[in-house]
Amino acid sequence: MALKKKKIALVAHDNRKSELADWAAVNMESLKQFDLCATGTTGSLLEKKLKQPVQKFQSGPLGGDQQIGALIAEGEIDMLIFFWDPLEPLPHDPDIKALLRLAVVWNIPVACNRATAEFLFTSSLLLTDYRPVQPDYEAYKNRKI
C-alpha cells in the first residue's frame, strides 16, 4: 500500500519570502515528494522557483492564513513551514496567531525559521507514514456550558 502523499503549507511574511524561497530551492528535490500549498504571493514565488505546482490561497491579510488554518483543523495539512517576521508588526497579527495556534492544537510539525525547517526535513520521520498523535478533545466538546 502506497503512503498517502503529505501536504505541506508554506507561508512567509514579506521580509522572509526570499529566505523561504532560498530554503525551498535547496530542498527542491525533497519538496517534489509532497503536495504544497501556500498563501498567495508566497505560492506564486515558490511555484516559479520550484517549477512545481503549488495550491495557492488568498494573501495572508486577505484570509489565506485562515484558509490554511481551516485545512489544519480538518486534518488536511501535515506540516506548516511559516517563516514569519518577528520584528515587523502586521495588521493581521491575530490571523497569524490563530494559524500558529491551530497548528499546536492539532499537533502538526511547525517550523518558524530556517533552522527548524532544516531539522524537520532531515528527520527520519519525514518520508514515513508517521501521523502525530491526535489530541482527544471529547471532554472539551462535551463540556456543559
Catalytic residue numbers read 65
46 CB-contact burial (10 Å; exposed 0-12 / middle 13-18 / buried 19+)? buried
Question: Could you report how far apart the first and last alpha carbons of the chain are, in Å?
Answer: 45
The angle that helices 40-50 and 17-26 make with each other, rounded to 10 degrees, is: 30
Cα distances (angstroms) measured from residue 84 to each of 26, 73, 90, 91, 130: 19, 21, 10, 13, 26
Q: What share of the chain is helix, strand, coil (3-state, %, to 5)?
A: 45, 15, 40
Rounded Cα–Cα distance for residues 19 and 11 (Å):
11
